[in-house]
Amino acid sequence: MNPYDHIKNEDQEVFSAITGEETREAEGLELIPSENYVSLAVREAMGSVFTNKYSEGYPGKRYYGGQEFTDQVETLAIERAKTLFRADHANVQPLGGAAANIAAYFAWLTPGDTVLGMDLAHGGHLTHGSPVTYMTKLYNFVRYGMKDIDTGEIDYDEMLATAKRERPKIVLAGFSGYPRTLDWKKIADIAKEVDAVAMADVAHIAGLIAGGALENPLDHGFHVMTTTTHKTLRGPRGAMILSKGTVSTPLKAPEKTIENLPTLIDRSVFPGFQGGPHMHQIAAKAIAFKEASTPAFKEYAHQVIKNAQAMAEVFTTGGVRLITGGTDNHLILADVYGSLGISGGEAELLLDRAGMTLNKNSIAGDTRKPFDPSGIRFGTPAMTTRGLNEEDSREIATIMLEVLDKRDDETVKNAKERVRSIALAHPVPESFV
């Protein structure tokens, strides 16, 4: 039976949208660094009977009855996450990455407190202090950034000076558009010097950490680590908060100490910030964590970086300026306006027509508007899931450059045919283990 037969019989309009998306994903190449494909097992869990169940609370301490199997699956997810990331505690209930960050803020901060995070223009995330978010109405965000955008070197001296001057309660490390690695130990030491919580947002690179391709901030003195469970971790859309410290369940809110962070986080997530967890999502997270613990996933994580570096080499050889000069992780940020005279918005649309999906992105010092910036951001998590290697990555990067250089209909048409051929030769696998 087709997995969508019931939808086909009941709602042709939704069925058409689903099958259209299936075709798009099968015949094109997904290059957005925050997107990926999940295994059939993860997809089945997302559509399981767990979607029927309300489970406010935590395993062993729920507000509704009938929790035998929800407790079982959430405990599995918690224990697997703790093992995978060497954490003392894991809260697997946050519904998304922004929700996880906000819950972590609420666990430790009081209104008016200061957070030191990466400047959005230098690669930070909206929830790290962008003025358009509501968090900036509650907390005072100050920023650090790159000393040199051509190498990506972070100005750690300035970060320390800012921390001493502003006395943040949280020093936040993490990014959504930074192609290099951070010195986790140095940032943890800065947090320690000003008596702040060291918090890492590894939403983009969690899978690379789980696979041993990048270092784990929790191994270098960080107290809290938030992450989405999709992107490089290749699980369902959702998030979790990992932490170090002692887990307890007091009747009243505990004192705000580092040791009590796990309990503070649990109380912040529920009942402080959200109600019933999505148990079908948590079941899918448990499966993804198991998949991420396999040798095959470790190979995948390392291949993601190899593929990204191969694409970066082609762009550099082709005369395109890359922000930070290359990549150490899964993503590439290219200044296409400065190098090729095409805006990021135009480049995104043009490459989409050729079957390659990526996103426009502002770059440090960008003089163009955010909705039509100078840069594009692309990466390799999804294409690597399909089994593509460095040679394939170089070919795809070459096709991208041809499209961005010539921009005519014939070039776009030929590129789309070549991309379709590559995509169909590397179908999305149903199982990754």
47-85 pLDDT tens trace: 999 999 999 999 999 999 999 999 999 999 999 999 999
- Phi, then psi, of 197 in degrees rounded to 5: -75, 130
**CATH class (in words) of the domain with range 45-292:** alpha beta
Residue whose C-alpha is closest to residue 235's, from 356, 358, 79, 381: 381
**Is the peptide bond preceding residue 271 cis, with omega within 30 degrees of 0?**
yes
| CA atoms in the 13 A half-sphere facing the CB of 341 | 3
Out of 143, 237, 394, 420, which one is annotated catalytic? 237
Catalytic residue status for 228: yes
Pure H helices in 149-238: 156-166, 184-193, 206-210
Task: Please state which CATH number belongs to domain 296-425.
Answer: 3.90.1150.10
- φ/ψ of residue 320, rounded to 5: -95, 130
Q: Which residues of 229-330 form beta strands (DSSP E)? A: 239-243, 321-322
| 56 is known as an active-site residue | yes
Q: Do domains 45-292 and 296-425 have the same CATH topology?
A: no
Among residues 70, 228, 263, 380, which one is catalytic?
A: 228
Helix, coil or strand: residue 393:
helix
pLDDT at residue 108 in the model: 96
pLDDT attached to residue 255: 87
Burial class (CB within 10 angstroms; exposed 0-12, middle 13-18, buried 19+) of 165: exposed
Instruction: Indicate if 231 belongs to the active site.
Output: yes
Is 37 marked active-site? Answer: no
- Residue 87's Cβ-count burial label (10 Å; 0-12, 13-18, 19+) is buried
Catalytic residue among 54, 183, 192, 313: 54
Catalytic residue among 201, 291, 335, 348: 201
Q: What is the pLDDT of residue 121?
A: 83
Return the DSSP state at 272.
I
Low-confidence ranges of the chain (pLDDT < 70): 1, 247-252, 433
Task: State whether the Cα torsion 20-25-26-27 is positive or negative.
Answer: positive
Q: Two tokens at 64?
A: 């509704």
pLDDT at residue number 196: 97
Which of 80, 231, 234, 285 does the annotation list as catalytic? Answer: 231
- Can you give the pLDDT at residue 431? 83
**Terminal Cα distance for the chain, rounded:** 24
Q: For residue 431, give the amino acid letter.
A: S
Torsion sign, CA atoms 289, 381, 425, 297: negative
Q: For 324, which DSSP code?
A: G
Task: Report pLDDT for 413.
Answer: 98
pLDDT at residue 249, as a whole number:
58
| Domain coordinates in residue numbering, the chain | 45-292, 296-425
pLDDT on residue 394 = 98
Catalytic annotation present for 105:
no
pLDDT of residue 127: 82
Other beta carbons within 10 Å of 17: 12
Which residues, at least 6 apart from 68, have a Cβ–Cβ distance to it below 8 Å?
none
Q: What's the pLDDT at 176?
A: 87
Please indicate whether residue 54 is annotated as part of the active site. yes
Query: What's the confidence (pLDDT) of residue 3?
Result: 81
Alpha-carbon 176 to chain mean position: 7
SS3 content of the chain, % helix, strand, coil (to 5): 50, 15, 35
Task: Please give the pLDDT value at position 179.
Answer: 96
pLDDT score of 252: 64
Q: Angle between the 295-317 and 390-406 helix axes, to the nearest 10 degrees?
A: 40
The token pair at 314 is 């082609």
Residue type, 203: A
Say how far apart CA 117 and CA 382 lie, in whole Å: 28
Catalytic residue among 27, 56, 113, 155, which? 56
Separation CA 427–CA 419 (nearest Å): 12
Tell me how far CA of residue 317 lies from CA of 137, 255, 347, 383, 394, in angstroms: 45, 56, 19, 22, 11
